[in-house]
Amino acid sequence: MLRWPTAILLILILANIGASALLVDSKGTGDFSKIQDAIDASEAGGEIIVLNGTYRENLVVDRPITLRGDGKPVIAGGNSSAPLITINASGVVLDGFVFSGCVDERYDSGAVLVLSDESTIVNNTVSGSSGHGIHMLNSKNHLISGNLIHDNSKAGIQFSGANYSRIAANDIRQNGYGIFIDRSEQNRISDSDVWDNRGDGIVISATSMSEFINNSIHNNSENGIYHVDSDNNIITGNRIRDCKNCGINIDRSSYVMILANTIERCGEMGVSLDTSNIAFVTLNTVSDNHLNGIAILGSNYNTISRNLVRDNRDSGISLRLGSERNIITNNEISASRRYGLVFDGSNSNTAQENKIYNNTNGIVMLHSNGNSIVDNRIKENGYGLSLEIVDNVIISKNEIVNSSRDGIRLFQCYNSKIWANKIRDSRADGVHITSSKGTIVSENDIEESGGYGVQFLDHSNDNLLVSNLIKNSGLGGVYIFEGETNFVVNCALVDNSEFSGRDNCGMNCRNLWYSNYYSDFECEEASWVEEVVCANPYVIQGHRGATNFDTRPFSDRSIALGR
C-alpha cells in the first residue's frame, strides 16, 4: 500500500485550504492540538481546519470564523455539563464535525448552542445529548442543513426565539422531539427526514409566518406535526405516515394553510383541527388513518376543500364539539369504515360539491342545527344521508344513488328542507321519516327505491311533501304509517309496485292529499276546469279500513308537479 509521509500530506492540505487557514490536529502535527487554542488565535473571517480525532473540549466561538472538520473529528467535551460548542459571534460556519455525549439538560442549552446571528451549521452529526441536539436561542438568519441529528433526549433541533432561518435536508431521528420551533417567526423547514422520534416529529409552538415544506415525517411516537398556539403558518408537500397520534394536529391556532400533504396510517386522525379557526386544508391525500381522516373539533370558519380522503377506519371527515361555519367542499371521501362525513353537535356548516362513495354510511348528522348539504354526489353508501335530532337543516340538489339502506333517513328532524335532490336506487326507502315534524320535502326525484318512495313512521306530524316525483318504488309510493296533519301536495306517484299512496290514519288524522298525480288512477276529466283535473277523487286506503281522499287529483303528472 502506498503511504504518504505525514509532512507531505500536511503540505498538500495546507496548499488546498490556503495560507490563512489554521490547522488543528490532536496528534500535534498541525498549528494547534486543541481547537479552542486555534479559535483564540484566529482573526475575524478566518478558517480553522480540524483533522480527524477526538477532542475533549467545550468550545466557545466569539468571533466570525469558519470551523471545518476534515474526516469527521469528534467533539466529546471536557466539561460534561456544558454545551460542546457555544457560538457567541455572528457569521460562524460549523461544517463537518461529530458532537457526541453532551449531558447538559438545561432547557436553554444544547450540545450545539447558538446565541448569535447568521450561523451556518452543515454536514455535522449531533448525538447522545441528554438535552437538545442543536439549540438556536434568540437569534436569526441561520442555515442548518445536511446534518445527522439522532438519539438526543430532548429536541434534535430547538428554535427558541429564532427567526428568519432555514432548516433543510437534515436526517433527524430517535430524539425526544424531532424539531421544536418555539416563539419564532419566518422560518423555513424543508426537505428533512424526521422519523422515529419519541415525541412529536415537529412541534410548532407560539410561532408565526413559517413554512414547513417537503419533509418526510414518519414513525414518530406522538404526532407527525403538532401546531399549537400559532398562526399564519404553511404546511405543504410533506409526507407524513405511521405516527402514533395524529399526522397533523392543529391546536388553538388560526390562519394555517395545510396544502398538498400526504398523510397515512396514523393512529388517530390524519388532520385534526382542535379549537382552531380559519384554517385551509386543501389538496391533501389522507388515507388509512385509525380514526378520522380529517377531524374538526370545536373549530370555526375553516375550509376543507379538494382533499382525497379514503380508507379511514372511522370517518372520512368529522365535525364535532360545537364546530360552526366551516365549509366542506369538493372533497372525495370514500371507503370510510363508519361515516363518510359526520356532523355531531355542530351547527351552521356547509358541505357542497363533495363526492362521497363506498362508505359504510355517506353523510350522518347528529344533534346539529342549521347545516346545509348542497350539490353533493353521494353514491353506494349504507344510508346516503342520515339526520338524527337535527333542526333547520337544508338538503338540496344532491345526487344520492345506490344506497344499501335509505337514501335519506330522518329521525327527530325538525323544520328542515329536503329540496331538489335526485334519489335513486335505494335498497330500502328513498326518504324515510321517523318522529319528525315541520320538514318540507319538495321537488325531489325519488326513483327505483326498493322499499317505499317516502315513508312516515312514529308520529311524524306537520310535514309537507310537495312537487316530488316518486317513481318505481318496490313497495309503494308514499306511505303514512303513523302521523297526522301531513300534506302530500302536487306530487307525481308513478308506477310504484303495490300502491301509489297509503294513509293508515285516514281523514281522522287530518293528513291532506291534494292535487297529486297517480299513475294507477282512472281519471274522469272535468272539462269545465282549465287544468286537467280529475272529476272523481282518488281513494287512499289505509290499515284496518282507514280511508283518505285526494279530492283534486291531476291526470297529467307535469301539471301536478309544476315543473
CB 235 within 8 A of CB 210: no
Digitized pLDDT (tens) for each residue of the chain, 563 residues in all:
334 444 444 444 444 444 489 999 999 899 999 999 999 999 999 999 999 999 999 999 999 999 999 999 999 988 768 999 999 999 999 999 999 999 888 889 999 999 999 999 999 999 999 999 999 999 999 999 999 999 999 999 999 999 999 999 999 999 999 999 999 999 999 999 999 999 999 999 999 999 999 999 999 999 999 999 999 999 999 999 999 999 999 999 999 999 999 999 999 999 999 999 999 999 999 999 999 999 999 999 999 999 999 999 999 999 999 999 999 999 999 999 999 999 999 999 999 999 999 999 999 999 999 999 999 999 999 999 999 999 999 999 999 999 999 999 999 999 999 999 999 999 999 999 999 999 999 999 999 999 999 999 999 999 999 999 999 999 999 999 999 999 999 999 999 999 999 999 877 788 999 999 999 999 887 655 556 899 899 999 998 888 999 999 999 999 889 88
CA 123, 125, 42, 140 torsion-angle sign: positive
Q: Are strands 143-145 and 408-414 parallel, antiparallel or unpaired?
A: unpaired
Q: Which residue ranges make up each domain of the chain? A: 1-198
Task: Tell how far CA 455 is from the center of its chain.
Answer: 37
Residue at 342: amino acid letter: V
Residue 244: how many other CB atoms lie within 10 Å: 16
Residue 15 pLDDT: 44
- What pLDDT sits at residue 217? 98
The distance between the two most distant Cα atoms of the chain, rounded to a whole number of Å, is 122
Kindly give, in sequence order, each residue whose CB lies less than 8 Å from that of residue 119, ignoring residues fewer than 6 positions away: 87, 90, 91, 92, 93, 94, 136, 139, 142, 143
Fill in the amino acid letter for 74. V
In the chain, the amino acid numbered 48 is I
Determine the 3-state secondary structure of 258 from DSSP.
Answer: strand
Terminal CA-to-CA distance of the chain, rounded, Å? 96
pLDDT attached to residue 508? 76
Q: Could you give the CA distance from residue 104 to residue 83 in angstroms, rounded to a whole number?
A: 6
Q: What is the CATH number of domain 1-198?
A: 2.160.20.10
pLDDT in tens, 117-137: 999 999 999 999 999 999 999
Query: Using one digit for the tens of pLDDT, what is the confidence trace for 5-17?
Result: 444 444 444 444 4
What does the alpha-carbon distance between residue 419 and residue 429 come to, in Å, rounded to a whole number?
A: 17
pTM of the model: 0.93
What is the spatial distance between Cα 297 and Cα 319, in angstroms, rounded to a whole number? 6
How many helices, marked H, and strands, marked E, lie in the chain?
A: 3, 65
Query: What pLDDT was estimated at residue 458?
Result: 93
pLDDT value, residue 423: 98
Q: pLDDT at position 8, please?
A: 42
208: which DSSP letter? Answer: B
* Cβ-Cβ contacts under 8 Å for 365 (sequence gap 6 or more): 342, 343, 344, 371, 373, 385, 386, 387, 388, 390, 393
Predicted local confidence at residue 420, as pLDDT: 98
Measure the CA–CA gap between 103 and 182, rounded to whole angstroms.
Answer: 22
The mean of the pLDDT values for the chain is 94
Q: Find the helix or strand (DSSP H, E) in which 334 lies.
A: strand 332-334
Please name the helix (run of DSSP H) or strand (run of DSSP E) that holds residue 479, with its range, or none: strand 476-480
What b/e readout covers 458-475, taking b as 16+ CB neighbours within 10 angstroms?
A: eebbebbbbbbbbbbbbb
